[in-house]
């Protein structure tokens, strides 16, 4: 049993105006929510598809990528002591003490595609756009966005059919900046971690309520599954109809118009697929209320998104997820811990101690959020007696290493969970400079993906 | 050779670069024609252009120098000499006066003209009489357009800003075809939204019970005090309210009272009793205590013969002041009971039911009985609806089976057990809203268009281009009727006039300024008023000491310091939601004024008026404005406020959370007003805070820090352009308020632009921008508006279109209408590339 608690979060100021006109679909629901609810015993939460796995007494492996922006203060990040199990957590990573044996800290991972090369300024946009794709993103303000497929989607393409959602894309960065995002790079690179293809970013969801309703349906706990079923039935004929429309149109279009239509077509197909799978993949409905909306506090928002991620994994709704905790280059101030300056401004500290200390506090604050999530994951037991964390691989990191210098080697990365025993944990690994994509291949292997020889700039498996 | 689009085949290059080659049929022929064109362009370069460059440019870009990696004497091949990217930069930089650089002799007007003419004709191959309209990728409705379109199509306000993820942007705008992508989640949301919207708009039965909600303001106390929005009963106050209602008359009625209890937890909860009476008879008498956000619903049935009834709600506070007075006295007494709704349904007898609201709008005739007739009726309704939703008529020929397929979809639904005809039609309408024909703006060329490589868009496409540009929504009946008659083009300017006068034209102000001036960012931007004011007052050290004293629990020192800070830092100033909204609306109203009154666009930079309400005027230090409504205010003489640059919105979005950023402000003006943004900073550039070394014994001002920063030659070439502009705005703090000092030092506003003009104050700078740099501003604003209007980024071939708009502005005293009609009548807005070209360009 794990308690999942969300205290009826007040609505975020930024969306106040918007949320005040409560949207139609939800009018009347979600009044009087909140309080502290415990999830039902985990075993009953398993969809039937997992029964096969259950027969072999091994729970499935999950994988998530969590992104934090602007790098970290390296000196405060890296553990002291030798590589191996005998290391001391650094001040920044100290909050991980309770899950120390479930994490590994890896140095030496690099994202070379984010280096300036011929493209000049724009290290933040590149760091964001390359993090999971491993390819040099095209420098464009918007006419020809081009990155590459991200590793989560590579894996989702192979194992996505085993769960109701092939992948889940989440963000805690709800508000978009107008204008340019970074030195002539389109904003798509910094707001989207997951890319279905080089030209199709997968926009993440920022509202925890919508994440919940998408996973489990709308309404009171007892009605949810029925509501979801009814909605799917209603949608069936609509999807059939628009599919025909799209096919006809597709034939008459060219070039980029056709690419847009194809994105639409494949999206419709995926929804249809999910409906077709709904007999096979049963919704496991957690008997908790949906969250009310986007909380006013950033800390609450992150905590709720982590809860949603945990629920999605726990109910085996998906096995692949990405969470953009904040966009690369974020200049958010941290009034929560008395820091009025913008995060990005601070990271260009030029070794001024007060500024470095503030960045370290921000780094530490983010790791605290991570630690709370990992502890919950560890406390959640699977039917085989192991923890949900044990069966997961949670990669937390940034595409910038030292925000002060915009370096992209020796990235700050923590990997939690052993992917069901396939990765070693409780250790500090000092690797030679290695593309981070090599590590992704190792993770993909652990997920059971087959035949992936290369991803982005990878040069082999992470040893 | 067309370096921006490397995939081009040889034949196509010619096709796009020289109209001469258009008639050529064989690839060989076109190749040789291309070579001829190239050779003659290069010959002109060598003979007429290079000598100008030798005189004015070689000092930095020749004879062994290659500043900015440009050396004109090292261009060798035809491709290098005719590189479009290079010459576009030359054009922009020479026109803006950035090149030749400071203190070097300028090009004579004749030479400048010669250079421009060569670039436009021989490098870009622009034909002023027949400009290339460019290519717009099919545009998906963004979430603003979606919301507005649904509102106009069905009368439903669907909050897409909450329901849909934000749209990706390109070139600073969220309506760029290439940047608007689609994901499975978004399509999922579209399908779900379609069902919800249609469910809200379209009645699914033909008769229903009359339902009336008694509004809060129907209730009043005995003293005649009207209740507003919701009737509320705080637990600590007794109150009674009454209302009179009228019903349709004799029959059975159901009355439903819905209420909830809210408040903070206290150990000994508050209590109260509510009595609800109808015509003096008690319907409910119940005691309420504290509940955590609990909702209640009470229903009662009534047989009434009369039409008029009286309702009363009587609340008695049971707060006797005795029970648990200790804890209770400490806790907040915030519990209250709120009446959410009071609904009267009836008469419930079926023969007294009425048609639902909206019924005739969607189902104008009686539903026929026969199966075939029903199907035909469904087909008729759905064909008309789809045509409106798709913003063009369905195809007349057999190949367009849209109406048939929709009717079949409706029938499949309404023939199911328990489903009504209306439900079937509604289901098909939902399919229309989820269709790519609705979600994308699909355009077509006009029939029988003559030109080979481009053609005017058909009038339906033009109607949509106009309405989404000016209104951010679908065309209205008048536009569609004109398009149907083929008379829209002929009545263009009258229609634009009409559209600008319409309420919907607010969308242009909101969405264009919201993005061009980044006013949309206001609501989300981090800003810490106290830190800003403390920094302005030079009290950072005392704040640090205060925090230290807090940590050390040194109460007396902390108190002293806090009192001192409070005495020098004004309290109660913050960028709260109302202030941010007022700032955003000020900018929108200001722009709307220029549009509606057809003012010169230079008033966007400099004027003697503003749009203010009391709070904003106070924030700006302008006396004599009272009330919450923003209205046109003539500024006092000498006020620095006129124009968008000194409005709160621009000043705040260009600031950091804790201080101003002269660099961001300078960049904002260069990029959005002068069209010459400096290149991005090199990697590893230090932040300004890094230059904060104590200056002559005090904490440095930003001007002092920037001076230090510019000592680095790697920084100076760009900062010499940005800093003087940004520093001119230093009299406005990061909250947009006027200040005379920063960190106890007087603020110095005077400066000099990189192009030489000197100014003594921000007002003088604005005058210079609006006069000496008027053309730069015209060009920049026209480019932004064209981008927003066409949904694609500017390309080299748009130079001619933009030049024509700038000329038009010049000839019309810079009136907004000259720019607007220039954009609307331009080739990119009026035309599209035809299929052959589209294929080639990809």
- In chain A, whose CA is at the least distance from the CA of B513? A178
Interchain pair B181, A244: CB under 8 A: no
Q: Does A268 touch chain B (CB under 8 A)?
A: yes
Percent of chain A with pLDDT over 70: 87
Query: Which of A25, A141, A256 lies at the smallest CB-CB distance from B842?
Result: A256
Interchain pair A267, B179: CB under 8 A: no
Query: Which of A122, A239, A349 lies at the smallest CB-CB distance from B191?
Result: A239
Average pLDDT, chain B: 87
Percent of chain A with pLDDT over 90: 63
Interchain pair A33, B293: CB under 8 A: yes
pTM of the model: 0.85
Q: Does A237 touch chain B (CB under 8 A)?
A: yes
CA nearest to B588, candidates B673, B596, B638:
B596
Residue A56's pLDDT is what?
A: 64
Tell me the residue length of chain B.
842
Residue B840's pLDDT is what?
A: 38
Interchain pair B528, A335: CB under 8 A: yes
Best to test chain A binding among B162, B296, B390 (most A CBs inside 10 Å) = B162
Q: Are the C-beta atoms of A365 and A326 separated by less than 8 Å?
A: no
Residues in chain A within 8 Å Cβ distance of B172: 141, 178-180
- In chain B, whose CA is at the least distance from the CA of A256? B137
Residue A379's pLDDT is what?
A: 95
Residues in chain A within 8 Å Cβ distance of B192: 25, 231, 235
Is a pLDDT exceeding 90 seen at residue A413?
yes
Q: Does B569 touch chain A (CB under 8 A)?
A: no
Query: Which of A187, A205, A238 lies at the smallest CB-CB distance from B194?
Result: A238
Residues in chain B within 8 Å Cβ distance of A32: 260, 292-295
Best to test chain B binding among A242, A274, A351 (most B CBs inside 10 Å) = A242
Residues in chain B within 8 Å Cβ distance of A254: 835, 838-839, 842
What do you get for the CA distance between the two ends of chain B, in Å?
15
Q: Are the C-beta atoms of A283 and A164 separated by less than 8 Å?
A: yes
Is a pLDDT exceeding 60 seen at residue A27?
no
Phi, psi of B118 (to 5 degrees): -65, -45
* pLDDT band for position B449 (cuts 50, 70, 90): low
Is a pLDDT exceeding 80 seen at residue B713?
no
Alpha carbon of B712: minimum distance to chain A alpha carbons (Å): 15
Q: Are the C-beta atoms of B239 and B315 separated by less than 8 Å?
A: yes
Residues in chain B within 8 Å Cβ distance of A263: 181-183
Between CA B438 and CA B442, with CA B440 as vertex, the angle to 5 degrees is 100
Residues in chain A within 8 Å Cβ distance of B137: 255-257, 260
Residues 85-104 of B with CB under 8 A from A: none
Best to test chain A binding among B514, B540, B687, B735 (most A CBs inside 10 Å) = B687
Q: Does A247 touch chain B (CB under 8 A)?
A: no
- C-beta pairs of B551-558 under 8 Å, 24+ apart in sequence: none
Is a pLDDT exceeding 90 seen at residue B299?
yes
Q: Does A244 touch chain B (CB under 8 A)?
A: yes
Percent of chain B with pLDDT over 90: 58
Residues in chain B within 8 Å Cβ distance of A24: 156, 158-159, 196-197, 199-200
Interchain pair B156, A24: CB under 8 A: yes
Query: Which of B182, B192, B526 lies at the smallest CB-CB distance from A333?
Result: B526
Distances (CA, A) of A412 to A74, A436, B157, B366, B585: 8, 11, 46, 69, 43
Q: Are the C-beta atoms of A4 and A39 separated by less than 8 Å?
A: yes
Interchain pair A245, B437: CB under 8 A: yes
Interchain pair A201, B181: CB under 8 A: yes
Residues 626-655 of B with CB under 8 A from A: none
* More reliable by pLDDT, B525 or A34: B525
Query: Which of B137, B409, B531 lies at the smallest CB-CB distance from A257?
Result: B137
Residues in chain B within 8 Å Cβ distance of A123: 683
Question: Average pLDDT, stretch B154-175?
Answer: 92
Is a pLDDT exceeding 60 seen at residue B521?
yes
* More reliable by pLDDT, B321 or B593: B593
Residues in chain A within 8 Å Cβ distance of B792: 143
Residues 403-462 of B with CB under 8 A from A: 405-406, 409, 412-413, 427-428, 430-431, 434-437, 439-440, 442
Q: Is B162 left (phi over 0), alpha (psi -120 to 50) or beta?
A: alpha
- In chain B, whose CA is at the least distance from the CA of A210? B163
Q: For residues A270 and B185, give the distance between their C-alpha atoms in angstroms, rounded to a whole number.
A: 10
Best to test chain B binding among A20, A264, A346, A402 (most B CBs inside 10 Å) = A264
Question: Going by DSSP bridges, is the β-strand pair A36-38/A392-397 parallel, antiparallel, or unpaired?
Answer: unpaired
Lowest mean pLDDT among B35-49, B179-193, B571-585, B792-806: B35-49
Average pLDDT, chain A: 86
Contacts of B770 (CB under 8 A, 6+ apart): B602, B605, B606, B643, B777
Is a pLDDT exceeding 60 seen at residue B367?
yes
**ipTM reported for the complex, 2 dp:** 0.86
Cβ-Cβ contacts under 8 Å between A and B: the total is 289
Interchain pair B439, A123: CB under 8 A: no
Interchain pair B138, A260: CB under 8 A: yes
Query: What does the pLDDT look like over A314-359, one tens digit per residue?
Result: 999 999 999 999 999 998 999 889 898 899 989 988 888 989 999 9
Residues in chain A within 8 Å Cβ distance of B544: none
Bridge partners of B600, per DSSP, are B815
Q: For residues B536 and A193, give the distance between their C-alpha atoms in angstroms, rounded to a whole number.
A: 39
Q: Does A183 touch chain B (CB under 8 A)?
A: yes
Reduced to 3 states (helix: H, G, I; strand: E, B; else coil), residue A333 is strand
What do you get for the CA distance between the two ends of chain A, in Å?
37
Alpha carbon of B48: minimum distance to chain A alpha carbons (Å): 33
* pLDDT band for position B64 (cuts 50, 70, 90): confident
Best to test chain B binding among A5, A120, A199, A241 (most B CBs inside 10 Å) = A241
Alpha carbon of A332: minimum distance to chain B alpha carbons (Å): 6
Is a pLDDT exceeding 70 seen at residue B304?
yes
Interchain pair A175, B792: CB under 8 A: no
Does a cis peptide bond (omega within 30 degrees of 0) precede residue B558? no
Q: For residues B367 and B159, give the distance between their C-alpha atoms in angstroms, rounded to a whole number.
A: 33
Contacts of A457 (CB under 8 A, 6+ apart): A112, A113, A134, A135, A435, A437
Query: What does the pLDDT look like over B85-144, one tens digit per residue?
Result: 899 989 988 888 888 877 778 888 899 999 999 999 889 988 888 889 998 999 999 999
Alpha carbon of A195: minimum distance to chain B alpha carbons (Å): 10
Reduced to 3 states (helix: H, G, I; strand: E, B; else coil), residue B784 is helix
* pLDDT band for position B2 (cuts 50, 70, 90): very low
Q: Does A21 touch chain B (CB under 8 A)?
A: yes
Lowest mean pLDDT among A104-108, A113-117, B254-258, B462-466: A113-117
Alpha carbon of A253: minimum distance to chain B alpha carbons (Å): 9
Residue B320's pLDDT is what?
A: 58
């Amino acid at each position: 049993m794990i308690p999942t608690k969300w205290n009826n979060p007040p609505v975020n100021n930024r969306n106040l105006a918007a949320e005040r006109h409560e949207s139609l679909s939800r009018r009347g629901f979600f009044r009087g929510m909140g309080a502290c609810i415990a999830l039902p015993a985990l075993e009953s939460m398993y969809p039937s598809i997992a029964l096969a796995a259950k027969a072999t007494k091994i729970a499935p492996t999950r994988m998530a990528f969590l992104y934090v922006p602007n790098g970290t203060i390296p000196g405060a990040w890296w553990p002291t002591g030798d590589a191996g199990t005998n290391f001391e957590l650094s001040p920044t990573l100290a909050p991980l003490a309770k899950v120390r044996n479930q994490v590994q800290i890896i140095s030496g991972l690099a994202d070379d595609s984010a280096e300036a090369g011929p493209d000049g300024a724009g290290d933040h946009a590149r760091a964001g756009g390359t993090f999971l794709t491993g390819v040099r993103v095209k420098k464009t303000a918007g006419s020809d966005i081009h990155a590459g497929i991200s590793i989560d989607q590579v894996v989702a393409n192979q194992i996505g059919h085993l769960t109701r959602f092939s992948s889940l894309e989440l963000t805690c960065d709800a508000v978009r900046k107008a204008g340019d995002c970074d030195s002539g790079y389109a904003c798509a690179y910094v707001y989207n971690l997951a890319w279905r293809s080089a030209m199709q970013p997968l926009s993440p969801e920022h509202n925890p309520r919508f994440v919940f309703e998408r996973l489990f349906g709308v309404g009171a706990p007892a009605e949810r599954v029925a509501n979801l079923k009814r909605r799917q039935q209603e949608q069936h004929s609509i999807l059939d109809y628009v599919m025909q429309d799209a096919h006809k149109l597709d034939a008459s279009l060219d070039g980029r118009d056709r690419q847009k239509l194809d994105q639409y077509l494949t999206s419709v197909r995926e929804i249809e697929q999910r409906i077709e799978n709904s007999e096979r993949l049963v919704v496991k409905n957690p008997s908790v209320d949906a969250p009310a909306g986007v909380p006013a506090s950033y800390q609450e928002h992150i905590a709720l998104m982590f809860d949603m991620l945990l629920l999605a994994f726990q109910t085996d709704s998906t096995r692949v997820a990405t969470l953009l905790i904040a966009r690369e280059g974020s200049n958010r101030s941290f009034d929560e811990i008395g820091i009025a300056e913008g995060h990005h401004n601070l990271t260009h500290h030029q070794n001024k101690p007060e500024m470095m200390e503030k960045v370290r506090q921000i780094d530490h604050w983010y790791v605290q959020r991570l630690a709370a999530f990992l502890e919950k994951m560890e406390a959640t037991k699977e039917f085989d007696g192991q923890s949900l964390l044990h069966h997961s691989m949670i990669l937390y990191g940034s595409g910038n290493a030292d925000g002060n210098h915009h370096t992209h080697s020796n990235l700050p990365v923590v990997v939690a969970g052993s992917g069901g025993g396939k990765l070693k944990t409780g250790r500090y690994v000092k690797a030679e400079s290695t593309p981070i994509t090599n590590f992704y291949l190792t993770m993909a292997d652990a997920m059971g993906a087959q035949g992936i020889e290369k991803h982005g700039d990878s040069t082999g498996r992470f040893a | 050779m067309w370096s921006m689009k490397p995939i081009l085949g040889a034949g196509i290059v010619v096709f796009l670069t020289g109209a001469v080659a258009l008639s050529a049929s064989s690839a060989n022929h076109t190749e040789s024609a291309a070579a001829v064109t190239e050779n003659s362009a290069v010959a002109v370069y060598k003979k007429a252009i290079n000598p100008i460059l030798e005189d004015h440019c070689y000092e930095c870009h020749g004879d062994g120098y290659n500043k900015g990696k440009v050396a004109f004497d090292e261009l060798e091949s035809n491709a290098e000499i005719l590189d479009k990217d290079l010459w576009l930069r030359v054009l922009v930089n020479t026109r803006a006066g950035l090149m030749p650089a400071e203190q070097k002799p300028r090009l004579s007007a004749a030479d400048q003209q010669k250079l421009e003419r060569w670039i436009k004709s021989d490098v870009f191959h622009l034909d002023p009489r027949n400009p290339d309209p460019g290519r717009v990728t099919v545009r998906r409705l963004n979430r603003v357009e979606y919301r507005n379109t649904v509102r106009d199509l069905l009368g439903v306000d669907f909050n897409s800003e909450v329901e849909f993820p934000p749209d990706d942007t390109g070139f600073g705008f969220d309506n760029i075809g290439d940047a608007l992508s689609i994901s499975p989640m978004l399509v999922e949301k579209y399908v779900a939204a379609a069902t919800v919207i249609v469910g809200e708009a379209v009645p699914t039965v033909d008769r229903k019970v009359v339902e009336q909600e008694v509004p809060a303001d129907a209730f009043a106390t005995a003293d005649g005090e009207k209740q507003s929005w919701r009737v509320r009963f705080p637990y600590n106050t007794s109150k009674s309210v009454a209302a009179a209602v009228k019903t349709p008359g004799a029959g059975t009625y159901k009355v439903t009272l819905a209420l909830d209890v809210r408040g903070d937890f206290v150990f000994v909860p508050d209590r109260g009793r509510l009595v609800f009476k109808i015509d003096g008879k008690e319907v409910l008498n119940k005691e309420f205590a504290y509940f955590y956000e609990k909702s209640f619903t009470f229903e009662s049935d009534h047989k009434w013969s009369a039409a008029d009834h009286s309702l009363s709600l009587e609340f008695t506070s049971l707060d006797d002041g005795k029970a648990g007075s200790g804890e209770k006295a400490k806790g907040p007494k915030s519990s209250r009971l709120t009446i959410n709704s009071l609904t009267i349904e009836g008469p419930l007898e079926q023969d007294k039911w009425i048609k639902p609201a909206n019924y005739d709008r969607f189902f104008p005739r009686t539903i026929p009985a026969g199966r075939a007739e029903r199907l035909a009726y469904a087909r008729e309704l759905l064909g008309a609806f789809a045509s409106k939703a798709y913003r063009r008529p369905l195809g007349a020929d057999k190949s367009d089976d849209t109406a048939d397929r929709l009717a079949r979809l409706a029938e499949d639904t309404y023939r199911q057990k328990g489903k009504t005809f209306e439900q079937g039609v509604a289901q098909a309408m939902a399919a229309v809203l989820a269709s790519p024909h609705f979600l994308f703006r699909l355009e077509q060329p006009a029939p029988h268009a003559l030109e080979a490589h481009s053609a005017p868009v058909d009038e339906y496409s033009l109607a949509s281009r106009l309405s989404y540009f000016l209104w951010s929504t679908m065309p209205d009946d008048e536009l569609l009727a004109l398009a149907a008659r083929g008379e829209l083009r002929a009545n263009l300017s009258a229609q634009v006039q009409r559209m600008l006068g319409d309420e919907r034209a607010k969308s242009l102000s909101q969405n264009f300024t919201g993005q061009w001036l980044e006013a949309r960012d206001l609501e989300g931007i981090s800003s810490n008023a106290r830190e800003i004011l403390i920094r302005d007052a030079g009290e950072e050290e005392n704040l640090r000491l205060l925090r230290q004293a807090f940590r050390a629990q040194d109460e007396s020192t902390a108190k002293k310091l806090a009192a001192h800070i409070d005495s020098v830092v004004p309290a109660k100033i913050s960028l709260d939601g109302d202030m941010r909204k007022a700032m955003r609306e000020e900018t929108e109203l200001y722009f709307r004024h220029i549009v509606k009154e057809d003012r010169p666009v230079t008033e966007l930079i400099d004027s003697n008026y503003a749009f203010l309400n009391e709070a904003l005027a106070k924030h700006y230090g302008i006396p004599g404005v009272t009330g919450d409504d923003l209205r046109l205010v003539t500024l006092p003489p000498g006020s620095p406020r006129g124009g968008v640059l000194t409005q709160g919105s621009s000043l705040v979005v260009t600031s950091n959370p804790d201080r101003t950023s002269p660099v961001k402000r300078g960049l904002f003006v260069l990029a959005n007003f002068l069209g010459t943004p400096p290149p991005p900073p090199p990697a590893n550039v230090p932040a300004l805070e890094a230059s904060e070394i104590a200056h002559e014994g005090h904490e440095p001002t930003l001007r002092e820090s920037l001076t230090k920063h510019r000592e680095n030659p790697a920084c100076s070439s760009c900062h010499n352009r940005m800093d003087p502009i940004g520093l001119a705005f230093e009299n406005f703090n990061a909250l947009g308020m006027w200040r005379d000092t920063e960190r106890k030092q007087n603020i110095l506003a005077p400066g000099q632009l990189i192009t030489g003009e000197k100014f003594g104050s921000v007002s003088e700078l604005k005058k210079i921008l609006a006069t000496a740099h008027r053309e730069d501003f015209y060009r920049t604003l026209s480019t932004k508006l064209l981008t927003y209007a066409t949904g694609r980024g500017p390309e080299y071939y748009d130079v001619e279109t933009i030049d024509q708009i700038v000329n038009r502005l010049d000839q019309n005293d810079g009136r907004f209408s000259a720019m607007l009609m220039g954009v609307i009548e331009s080739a990119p807005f009026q035309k599209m590339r035809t299929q052959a070209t589209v294929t080639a360009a990809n």
